[in-house]
Amino acid sequence: ETGVTQSPTHLIKTRGQQVTLRCSSQSGHNTVSWYQQALGQGPQFIFQYYREEENGRGNFPPRFSGLQFPNYSSELNVNALELDDSALYLCASSREGTYNEQFFGPGTRLTVL
Amino acid sequence: GENVEQHPSTLSVQEGDSAVIKCTYSDSASNYFPWYKQELGKGPQLIIDIRSNVGEKKDQRIAVTLNKTAKHFSLHITETQPEDSAVYFCAASMGTGYALNFGKGTSLLVTP
């Protein structure tokens, strides 16, 4: 069974730029959730994708957007990067019908200068 | 929205001792409570979870208890080992399709 994978591992961008992060869900999982984890904090929910549609969103502005593909992989896009966007971005996959067991990838460390 | 509070923020124990981490939640609709372990440079790893229709669950050295009336749940680690050192997060959720709402984490250090 393949776990959740994310790319890239690290990324450095400058303020105002745009970034795309990628996630491949665990085998058999059809739901992907994205979280932002600031240093020393717990993960904060950004949004969730199910059947290629956004299925719930946390308190993040519209410049955070996403996609889910037919193979259940997903992208997180962030436009107009701000310094406060520097964080670890985590992707978690889960399977419909389970209670809400979410399995996380290793994350992408984004630094905005 | 759901608010999860976690205590303590740091915990240091001697190898072999027990460690207890406590969380409270605010939304009575929450029905799923997972615990994650996060090691440096890695993503959170699900170590145990409990559902609202169960009061206690155990898996080897790890156990979780849930008090729905008081809206709190706890993680118990017995016979701690140095490899248990990590940051532990509790979370609460209303189930499938809903977000996990995390506490701020507990940094556990197990000294030999």
**Per-residue pLDDT reduced to its tens digit, B11-30:** 999 999 999 999 999 999 99
Question: What are residue A72's phi and psi, to 5 degrees?
Answer: 75, 0
Mean pLDDT of B41-45: 94
Statement: residue A1 has pLDDT above 70: no
Contacts of B97 in chain A (CB under 8 A): 31, 48, 50, 55-56, 96, 100
CB-based contact A43 B89, cutoff 8 Å: yes
Q: Is A49 on the interface with B (CB under 8 A)?
A: no
Quote the CA–CA distance of B103 and B25 in Å, as a whole number.
Answer: 9
Q: How many contacts, defined by CB atoms under 8 Å, are there between A and B?
A: 73
**Per-residue pLDDT reduced to its tens digit, A23-55:** 999 988 889 999 999 999 999 999 999 989 998
Band (A102; pLDDT cuts 50, 70, 90): very high
Band (B97; pLDDT cuts 50, 70, 90): confident
